[in-house]
Amino acid sequence: MAESALTQVLLLLAATLLVVATLSRLRLPPVIGFLAVGAMLGPHALGWVADTETTATLAEFGVVFLLFTLGLEFSLPRMIAMRGEVFALGGLQVGITTALFAGIAWWLGSPPALAIVLGGAVAMSSTAIVIQQLSGQGELNRTHGRLSFGILLFQDLAFVPFLALAGVIGAAGTGYEASEALAAVAKAGVALAIVLAGGRWLLRPMFHEIASTRSTDLFTLAVLFVAMAAAWATHAVGLSFALGGFLAGMMLAETEYRYQVEAGVRPFRDTLLGLFFVTVGMKLDIALLAENALAITVLLVALLAIKAGIITLVARRYAGSWFKSLRTGIVLSEGGEFGFALLVMLLQNQLLEQEASQVLLPAIALSMVVSPLLIRHNKRIAQLLLRESGPASAATAEPADLPMQSVASREHVVLCGYGRVGQNIGRVLAEQGFEYLAMDLDPVRVRSAREAGEPVIFGDASDEALLETVGLSHASAVVVTFPEPDIAIGILRAVRRLNAEVPILVRTADDSRLDDLLAAGATEVIPETLEAALMLASHALLVLQAPMSRVVRTIGDIRRHRYGLLRGVFRGSDGGPAEGSHPLREELRSVVLPPGAWSVGRSLGEVSGRGLEVTFAAVRRGGIVGRDPEPGMVLRDGDVVVAFGTPEALEHAEAVLLAG
């Protein structure tokens, strides 16, 4: 028996690994592949893996792990900062969508509590797909992106009572009463409050002690302990294991160690999530899927259309136009991981009929598969449905600030990328009296930089319309700071189509694509590893008392010959670059102080006295930026505080600054 269980687990692991490797190369969403593997290997097709207690346990662990990773994405400070859009707009979307689909399920014969869970499952959207796709398109900071983000935050919060309700009706079967369901939701609310408080006040000191040991094994063990202990605790009080996993993720998201937690679980995350979706696929009957193809298609279209319609209606007031609200509805019309988890719990507890699951699960899965296409073309779809042109382009729909437009009309430097390298170049340029405009696709970084008064625009630097907006025709130089050669080549080609003469400096990690970058139009290419070697070599020559003129001549000759002397290296066994660099982890973050925040009316010195390990680089007040503020400066509501430190220290600082 044990050998048979091990064989089945190995088969699932082998199939999962094969699918992950294949689909990642094809750049396709892995969910549909996992479901297909489960359906093919499961008892309804080849029968190589039986639907036994072992696979059910794997599925339950998969649900716990899925919800643990989703809980890590929860941010209480972000929810507080966007509370208007989150609770008003998000509450309307979840409430109306849940009520509508729950009413349909109840009309079809489902008990009220089960109907509510089914409605909640359909109301959820995919946070991972939406955020990743909008960020890549440069739309997360636009109106429809901001509204989508607010709704997703509320869905994260609303998932807790749905999960608790699914757990109690799953444990009680058909014998539950309304009072038990209400008690479960109340318990979930109490557990949520305890978790948020515990994450802030209990886990932080515990993980501080563990982190001080500098043992990654001990840290990972502590993370797994917290996740499993939370799952056990919620199960012990009559709720589900999955709820404990989600709350554990939320607890750790409230600490400054969220980044280490994500790094610790990353090596086995894809495999465990893959196993979860494979076990879901095992419950699908391929013959029934073929028979129900028409019903699945109709349900898929209905799901997308109804959710998009509801979101469009509730978002109209906040979006300002039907065009923007419809874009929001299209972006959030798909199903999500939360809905999948709820349906799987119902299926495991035999509360969802097999016939219904063969239609509902594939429809939600397919909606997640097509959602990247819907999100990518949300503007065109909205224009087609409304029969209007909408905004002309991403660059002109929300024009840059007037000061930026003024800079774009004069001689200036265009920075493509505003990460650590781009920001340092910008500071040097500003110090020497040169103006610049920067572009970046990281919405958090752009928002923080703009709040601090930096001349940064959100957008894709390879977009020719955006390059025209930042005044490429007046640029005296272009600096590309992205280390990825493919991204740099795309930017180079776009720049050269618009301006064949402007000098372009390109940063790259090494010399592997140096010739390609030069051929694409780069004036100078600066490989980081080779420049680091040059700097070390020049210092070594000076230490060896070589004449300065000889050092300068030697370094200049190497650069003029395109680093030919340095481009032959011995590779290690990994086949990668011979030299690697550990990324510097310090960064800048801007925090807007809302009315009622604890830090309002207190000095920076008092705030630092709360155990903060950050440096306050600037405070922006009334549009005026004060650099290197004094400790005695008293903060006011509306101030933008710019802090510098590690991600963990910045998380702690943000929590202290925004505390109520």
Domain-by-domain residue ranges, the chain?
A: 2-45+53-385, 405-522, 587-658
Of the chain, the percentage scoring pLDDT greater than 90 comes to: 5
pLDDT at 306: 92
pLDDT at 23: 67
Neighbours of 262 (CB within 10 A): 16
Confidence (pTM) = 0.54
Give the pairing of strands 436-440 and 456-458: parallel
Single-letter residue type at 397: A
Quick check: 390 pLDDT over 60? no
Quick check: 387 pLDDT over 50? yes
For the CA atoms of 342, 347, 351, 354, the dihedral, rounded to the nearest 10 degrees, stands at: 130
Annotation: CATH topology of 587-658: Alpha-Beta Plaits (3.30.70)
CA-nearest of 53, 46, 40 to 9 is 53
- Tell me the two tokens of residue 470: 């930042």
- Tell me the two tokens of residue 271: 């495999």
Averaged confidence pLDDT in the chain: 76
pLDDT at 225: 81
Quick check: 434 pLDDT over 60? yes
pLDDT at 402: 46
Residue 490 C-alpha from the chain's centroid: 24
pLDDT digits (tens, 9 = 90+) for 279-304: 777 767 777 777 778 888 888 899 99
Give the number of residues written for the chain: 660
Of the chain, the percentage scoring pLDDT greater than 70 comes to: 72
Q: How far is 172 from 183, CA to CA, in rounded Å?
A: 13
Quick check: 177 pLDDT over 50? yes
Q: Label residue 414 by pLDDT band (50, 70, 90).
A: very high
- The stretches of 108-240 forming alpha helices (DSSP H) are 112-123, 127-137, 143-172, 178-201, 203-212, 216-236
pLDDT digits (tens, 9 = 90+) for 478-501: 999 888 888 889 899 989 998 888
Q: Label residue 582 by pLDDT band (50, 70, 90).
A: very low
Neighbours of 474 (CB within 10 A): 15
Least confident of 9-13, 317-321, 336-340, 523-527: 9-13
Q: How far is 548 from 525, CA to CA, in rounded Å?
A: 25
Quick check: 335 pLDDT over 80? yes
Cβ-proximal residues to 485 (8 Å cutoff; 6+ apart), any chain: 508, 512, 513, 516, 517
* Helix pair 354-376, 378-386: axis angle to 10 deg: 90
pLDDT at 84: 66
Q: What angle do CA 424, 427, 429 make, to 5 degrees?
A: 110
pLDDT digits (tens, 9 = 90+) for 220-258: 788 878 877 777 777 776 666 767 777 777 777 766 666
Annotation: CATH topology of 2-45+53-385: Na+/H+ antiporter like fold (1.20.1530)
Neighbours of 148 (CB within 10 A): 30
Cβ-proximal residues to 259 (8 Å cutoff; 6+ apart), any chain: 647, 648
Quick check: 103 pLDDT over 80? yes
pLDDT at 571: 36
For the chain, what is the radius of gyration of the CA atoms? 27
The listed CATH number (3.40.50.2300, 3.40.50.720, 3.40.50.300, 3.90.420.10) that belongs to domain 405-522: 3.40.50.720
Q: How far is 416 from 406, CA to CA, in rounded Å?
A: 19
Q: Which residues pair with 587 in a beta bridge?
A: 645
* 334: alpha, beta or left? (left if phi > 0; alpha if psi -120 to 50): beta
Quick check: 393 pLDDT over 80? no
Q: Once rounded to an integer, what is the mean pLDDT over residues 102-122? A: 86
Q: Once rounded to an integer, what is the mean pLDDT over residues 472-476? A: 88
CA-nearest of 502, 569, 501, 575 to 530 is 569
Q: How far is 96 from 87, CA to CA, in rounded Å?
A: 13
Quick check: 580 pLDDT over 50? no
